[in-house]
C-alpha cells in the first residue's frame, strides 16, 4: 500500500469516526457548544445529525472513489472552513488538549500526502492525436 493510499484510508476513517461517534451516536458537548454558538433557530440535534451524515458521506467518497481527487480537496476545504468557524464562534474550544487545531492540521497533512502521492503516481497525459 502506498503512502497516498494509507493517507486516504486514515483520512476517510477520521471523517467516518467524527461523523458517527460525536455527532450521531453520542452527541458531544463540544459539538453542541459549536452548533449553539451560531445562534441558529434550528434543532441542535438535527444540525448535528445532518453534519454527521455529511461527514460519513464524505468519508465514503474518500474511501470508495479512489481515482477521484475531489473528495480530498473537499475534505481539505471543509477542514480549513471548520477550523475558521470554530475560531470565530467558539474560540475557547481551541485551547483544549484534543482540539480542532491539532486534529485539523493532522487531517490536512493527510490530505496533502494523498493529493501529492496520487499526483506523482498519475502518468502524464499524452497530447491528443491530430
pLDDT digits (tens, 9 = 90+) for 9-50: 999 999 999 999 999 999 999 999 999 999 999 999 999 999
Residue 45 near residue 27 (C-beta atoms within 8 A): yes
| 13 assigned to some structural domain | yes
| 84 assigned to some structural domain | yes
Instruction: Give me the pLDDT at residue 129, please.
Output: 73
Instruction: Give me the pLDDT at residue 98, please.
Output: 77
Residue 66 near residue 75 (C-beta atoms within 8 A): no
What is the pTM assigned to this prediction? 0.87
Please state the length of the chain: 130
Residue 26, domain extent:
3-121
pLDDT, the chain, mean: 92
Instruction: Give me the pLDDT at residue 17, please.
Output: 97
| 126 assigned to some structural domain | no
| 38 assigned to some structural domain | yes
Q: How many domains in the chain?
A: 1
- Please state, as a whole number, how many other Cβ atoms lie within 10 Å of the Cβ of residue 120: 9
| 80 assigned to some structural domain | yes
Residue 29 near residue 76 (C-beta atoms within 8 A): no
| 79 assigned to some structural domain | yes
| 130 assigned to some structural domain | no
| 128 assigned to some structural domain | no
Residues above pLDDT 70, as percent of the chain = 93
pLDDT surpasses 70 at 130: no
Amino acid at each position: 500500500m502506498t503512502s497516498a493510499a494509507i493517507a486516504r484510508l486514515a483520512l476517510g476513517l477520521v471523517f467516518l469516526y467524527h461523523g458517527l461517534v460525536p455527532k450521531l451516536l453520542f452527541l458531544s458537548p463540544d459539538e453542541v457548544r459549536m452548533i449553539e454558538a451560531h445562534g441558529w433557530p434550528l434543532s441542535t440535534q438535527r444540525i448535528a445529525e445532518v453534519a454527521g451524515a455529511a461527514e460519513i458521506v464524505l468519508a465514503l467518497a474518500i474511501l470508495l472513489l479512489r481515482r477521484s481527487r475531489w473528495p480530498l480537496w473537499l475534505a481539505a476545504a471543509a477542514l480549513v472552513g471548520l477550523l475558521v468557524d470554530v475560531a470565530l464562534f467558539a474560540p475557547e474550544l481551541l485551547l483544549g488538549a484534543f482540539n480542532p487545531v491539532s486534529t485539523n492540521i493532522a487531517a490536512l497533512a493527510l490530505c496533502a500526502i494523498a493529493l501529492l502521492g496520487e499526483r506523482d503516481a498519475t502518468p502524464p497525459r499524452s497530447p491528443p492525436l491530430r
